[in-house]
Amino acid sequence: MSETVVAHDTRAWWTLLIDAVRGRGGDPTRGPVGRAIVMLAIPMVLEMVMESVFAVVDIFFVARLGPAAVASVGLTESVLALVYTVAMGLSIGAMAVVARRVGEGDEKAAAEAALQVLFLGVGMAVVIGIAGVLGAPHILRIMGADDEVIRTGTGYTRVMLGGNATVLLLFLLNAAFRGAGDASLAMRVLWLANTINIILDPCLIFGLGPFPELGVTGAAVATNIGRGTAVCVQLYALFHGTGRLKASIRHIAIKPAVMLRVLRLSGTGMLQVFIGTVSWVGLVRLLATFGPDALAGYTVAIRIVLFALLPAWGLSNAAATMVGQGLGAGDPERAERSVWIAGFMNFVFLGVVGLFFVIAAPMIVSLFGSDPETAAYASRCLRIVSAGFVFYAYGMVLQQSFNGAGDAWTPTWLNVLCFWLWEIPLAWVLARRLNLGPDGVFAAITIAFSTLTVISAVLFKRGRWKKAVV
């Protein structure tokens, strides 16, 4: 009898996985909350895994070129974080508005909102691209790079910033599809992008076969080709697909009222992410004063951390979609239950991963082929930051849930408090005044994110997010 039950449960979970990957999850506003979260979370987690693979694959190959190449990637990624700020900020508005309109049953309005975000993204990408191509070496120097890093990494920086449109549009379209509950499409395009990136990375970096040897610049070229291909697939699905988010030629027009609504949320979202991003830039600038080995070690460790945290963002995004569609459908209690269930799932996942990272940090870092000094910094950073994973688990879900409800100001002010007024000063005190060096910076990251989680939980329980207007 027990074997029959186990076999039945196994088939049920397998069917659930297949349905989620294929996008046959049904309506997130109906049915059991736990099942709805899982159906949204599985493709979102797999999507975030694919997003994290970009970071890990690039640094895996670039590490073979030496600390200067790794440092140039780290500094460029810190500047690119400003592009991610725009992308993630616009994504907050796109997901919140699309989810609310879909929850209300107005799919035409959802498509119009997605296109307005797309117009905004293209305009911003052009401005950022021109500035990045013209000012790449100056940007690296401002970030604290020495002459060797500038010589090695200028090409990488130019290509990554010049091709920022692939990042922006990929983020924005995926956010719109997630808001509509079509998370499987967002997952599949990132599979495609990563497959292309994994194949082209070693070919363009090392000059395999007929490909030119571009060094660290090759990693940027491969990444942009992969992401650009994915964007083409997204646009085709938006205009010719069969999902809940469908646009047509007649929707291609600037609609001021819709754009202002999206921009109101997106503007706050960009400010929110910008605050967090600037804190990361500040930490990198502080770490750069301890030399390229400390900076390279931090870069390796943070890439590994992202490999764990980005899948966790999948659960967070699932909760945000549930909140947006739940409020649109007039069911705030269901929205709140989904957040706590998703938070617990994230807690279990990140708790296990964090424990593994703390125990096996040197072994994990060794996979990236770093020199002994860089590896030592990377191992310590990985252990210290991973110690706070159990706090990050709930904090990530809660922050995204505020955004999914359209209450983007609450996490914005929390970022000001916990990152600018707490994390950066704390990092400086620990690193310089208490002479902990880079370890002080790593500890400040853990302390700041743990503080953010506690305050977020208190504010979420008060329930003001349920009254947000989108």
Q: Residue 213's CB: how many other CB atoms inside 10 A?
A: 12
Higher confidence at residue 208 or residue 33?
208
pLDDT tens readout for residues 315-357: 888 888 888 888 888 888 888 999 999 999 999 999 999 999 9
Whether the predicted pLDDT of 383 surpasses 90: yes
Rg (CA), the chain: 22
- The predicted structure's pLDDT at residue 9: 47
Mean pLDDT value across residues 297-309: 84
Q: Are 149 and 158 in contact (CB under 8 A)?
A: no
Whether the predicted pLDDT of 234 surpasses 70: yes
Q: Are 185 and 177 in contact (CB under 8 A)?
A: yes
pLDDT tens readout for residues 42-66: 777 777 677 667 667 777 888 888 8
How confident is residue 24, by pLDDT bands cut at 50, 70 and 90? low
- The predicted structure's pLDDT at residue 343: 92
Whether the predicted pLDDT of 385 surpasses 50: yes
Q: How far is the C-alpha of 401 from the C-alpha of 399, rounded, in Å?
A: 5
- The predicted structure's pLDDT at residue 8: 45
Mean pLDDT value across residues 77-91: 77
Cα dist. 232→169, 227, 229 in Å? 10, 9, 5
Q: How far is the C-alpha of 322 from the C-alpha of 305, rounded, in Å?
A: 26
Residue type, 77: E
- The predicted structure's pLDDT at residue 179: 83
How confident is residue 19, by pLDDT bands cut at 50, 70 and 90? low
Angle between helix 389-404 and helix 67-103 axes, rounded to 10 deg? 40
- The predicted structure's pLDDT at residue 60: 81
Whether the predicted pLDDT of 25 surpasses 70: no
Whether the predicted pLDDT of 169 surpasses 70: yes
High-pLDDT (> 90) share of the chain, %: 28
Whether the predicted pLDDT of 1 surpasses 50: no
Q: How far is the C-alpha of 268 from the C-alpha of 270, rounded, in Å?
A: 5
Mean pLDDT value across residues 430-446: 93
Q: Are 81 and 283 in contact (CB under 8 A)?
A: no
Whether the predicted pLDDT of 360 surpasses 90: yes
- The predicted structure's pLDDT at residue 6: 41
Dihedral sign of CA atoms 130, 131, 134, 140 in order:
negative
State the chain's mean pLDDT as an integer: 84
Q: How far is the C-alpha of 160 from the C-alpha of 62, rounded, in Å?
A: 15
Half-sphere exposure (Cβ direction) of 317: Cα atoms closer than 13 Å: 35
Q: Are 349 and 393 in contact (CB under 8 A)?
A: yes
| CA 365 to chain CA centroid, nearest Å | 22
Mean pLDDT value across residues 407-420: 91
Q: How far is the C-alpha of 197 from the C-alpha of 369, rounded, in Å?
A: 20
Cα dist. 69→146, 152, 215, 234, 291 in Å? 12, 6, 9, 32, 14
| CA 326 to chain CA centroid, nearest Å | 23
- The predicted structure's pLDDT at residue 5: 41
**Predicted TM-score (pTM) of this structure:** 0.72
Q: How far is the C-alpha of 399 from the C-alpha of 457, rounded, in Å?
A: 9
Query: DSSP states of 53-119 as a string?
Result: HHHHHHHHHHGGG-HHHHHHHHHHHHHHHHHHHHHHHHHHHHHHHHHHHHHTT-HHHHHHHHHHHHH
